Structures are given as structure tokens and as C-alpha cells.
Amino acid sequence: MELSRRDFAARMLGGAAALSLAGRADAEGDPGSDPLPSWNAGPAKDAIVGFVHTTTDAASASFVPVAERIATFDQDGTLWVEHPIYTQLVYCFDRLPALVKAKPELAKVEPFRTVLTGNREAIASLGLEPLIKVVAATLTGMDVDTFRDEVKKWIAEARDPRWKRPYTELVYEPQIELLKYLRSVGYRTYIVTGGGQDFVRVYAERVYGIPPEQVVGSAGGVSYQYAADGKPVLVKEPKLLLNDDNAGKPEGIHLMIGRRPHFAFGNSTGDRQMLEYTKAGGGARLAMLLLHDDGAREYAYGPAQGLPDTKVGTFTQALYDEAKKDGWTVVSMKNDWKRIFAFE
């Protein structure tokens, strides 16, 4: 229970990622040319193309009917940047001053007082548990329409400190190509994220071409209430319905989709069960993991393969070994991706 609340706090956050994607979801690619131009030739690209051919060729023994073509993608660290800290946590910290303006008494109590100083070292020394209060206070208590408007405004204005760009430009161009490629052959692409479902839904359609009903994420409860004018509203409650990380990913997939994916892509130990569940189905299934081994162009962390350890998007050696043993494809950001961001 304690652990799952910590996971919740850790994941109600979000990565940092970029790319100006106006109109991106409209054109789903020209089938005549290479659908994955930002992917270098190699086993990872071959695995994708081979999987698509074997599951969509009606003459193939591994043919998958269109209705069952489900592909699930983790978001943080898989579709957009998650270092040094999940984007959704930046949002929570940025929202705090407005919250304190409305409720001044918060400024006097921890952990709000420390977070308001902006002192990163002092904030880090708090540990995760107290931050749950900040997450809960900034993500709940308002109706879902107000929350959506607040996130929409923030995501348009906020900038990642390293690239000085909106977080929605820090998405990986090879993954955008992959999403479009899969959709062009009849796969429905889903996000299955530890991040907050309502948060990701605000921009997923514009940025990834993924509509709200195809975003599965950690979800708090909402309660149906009547506003002062008598209109019904859905108010976000500090109650966790689905902790969509680790075992929660296949559990969330069952709850929200009700079908086992044929394709799953993740980047951390939080994706392990989703990939196991995907591979355990019959016929052709492709499980992929992104290894962040490119500190120059993005970030390098593991600790798999001797990469630096991290608490954000941990990719352990045990996960790496399971991938190799069970035929999952590990994608090297450094070697498999020709280009990382569209703005490069």
C-alpha cells in the first residue's frame, strides 16, 4: 500500500519531451516510401517491419484480424523525454503558487513551504512521500473541465530548461513515425502510462494522434456533483482507481481495452508486466524496450549495461536479461535512431 502510494506520486508526473506537431496526425505516411526514415537499418527496424508484414498479410499464418490489432505504448521515456523529472511533476510544482493564492494557509505547512522555495536540493531531500500531498492538491479538487483548461494553458507556455522548448516538442520523432506506421496498417495505438490519464489526454491527440479514449493511465476517481447553477460536473477526487504501472499496466489494459495487445513498447521496469502479458499471447507478438544510452543527444540511464543508475525510468539489468531471454527487442537510442527530435 505504501509502495503503491509512492508509485502513484512518482508517476502522476510526466516526462519532458518536444516537437511541434501541428497537423502531424493528419498525414499517416506514404506507403510507397520508407515509413520509418528516422530509424537506422538494423535488427530493431527489421523486427518492426517483419512484425507488421507477418500480422497484416492475409496469407500469413500469424495474420491478425483488424479488430484485434492493438498496440500499446508507455509514454514517459518511451514517447517523450522523462529526465531529469516527469513533466507532470513539473506541472504540479508550477501549479502550486496559484493553489496557495487560493488557499494561503498551505504556504505555512510542509511540504508546500519547501516546494514553494523552488530550492531543488531541499525539495529532493523531502523524499517522495510528502510530495504526494503536492500531487494530490494540484491534480484534484477541481472539475475535469477546469483541470483540462489549466493543463492546456500550462503545456502551451511551459518550457523544458535544457532545450528551451515546449515539453510537447520533446517527443521522439522515430516513435511518431512508428505510431503512424502501425496505424497505417490498421493497428489502433494506445498510450498505457503510469502518468495521469486526464493529464495525458489533454495533448495526446494533437501530439501523438491518439484520442482520449485510447489513453490508459493512472486514474483518480471523479465524483458526479451539481454546480451552483445546477449543471452536473465531474470533480476530481484524491482517490486512486488505477495505478497504471508495473502489474497495473496489464490490469489497466484489461479494464480499459479488454483485449491483449499484439505489440507493446516500453522503456523501464514499470513496463515489464505489460511486455510479458503481450508476449504470452498466441501468434506473432512484438515487445520492445527503449534503452536510453545517448547522453549526448538525450540522456543516458539504466542501470542496465553499465549505464548510470536512476530513480526516474529505471531499466535494470534483470529487465535487460529478461528481454534477451524472452525475445523482446531492445532499441538503442544511440544506435537505432538516426534522429531523436523533429527540431534537430
Q: Which residues form the interface with a copy of itself (CB under 8 A)?
A: 67, 144, 197-198, 201, 205, 211-213, 215, 219, 221-224, 231-232, 234, 241-242, 247, 250-251, 254-259, 273, 276-277, 280
Cβ-based burial of 174 (10 A; exposed 0-12, middle 13-18, buried ≥19):
buried
The nearest distance, CB 200 to a copy of itself, in angstroms, is 10
Angle of the 128-139 helix axis to the 87-102 helix axis, nearest 10? 70
The nearest distance, CB 212 to a copy of itself, in angstroms, is 3
The nearest distance, CB 183 to a copy of itself, in angstroms, is 14
208 vs 277, beta carbon nearer a copy of itself:
277
206 vs 334, beta carbon nearer a copy of itself:
206
Q: Whole-angstrom Cα distance, residue 161 to residue 106?
A: 27
120 vs 259, beta carbon nearer a copy of itself:
259
186 vs 221, beta carbon nearer a copy of itself:
221
Q: Which residues contact 154 (CB under 8 A, 6 or more apart)?
A: 91, 94, 95
What is the CB-side half-sphere exposure of residue 152 using CA atoms within 13 A? 10
Q: Is the dihedral of CA 46, 49, 55, 61 positive or negative?
A: negative
128 vs 257, beta carbon nearer a copy of itself:
257
- Alpha carbon 302 to chain centroid distance? 18
Cell numbers standing for residue 292: 536510453
The nearest distance, CB 181 to a copy of itself, in angstroms, is 21
111 vs 266, beta carbon nearer a copy of itself:
266
Q: List 76's β-bridge partners, or say none.
A: 80
β 263-266/232-242 pair status = unpaired
Helix, strand, or coil here: 58?
coil
The nearest distance, CB 59 to a copy of itself, in angstroms, is 22
Q: Report, in this order, helix, strand and coil percent for the chain, each rounded to 5.
A: 45, 20, 40
The nearest distance, CB 233 to a copy of itself, in angstroms, is 9
The nearest distance, CB 273 to a copy of itself, in angstroms, is 6
107 vs 144, beta carbon nearer a copy of itself:
144
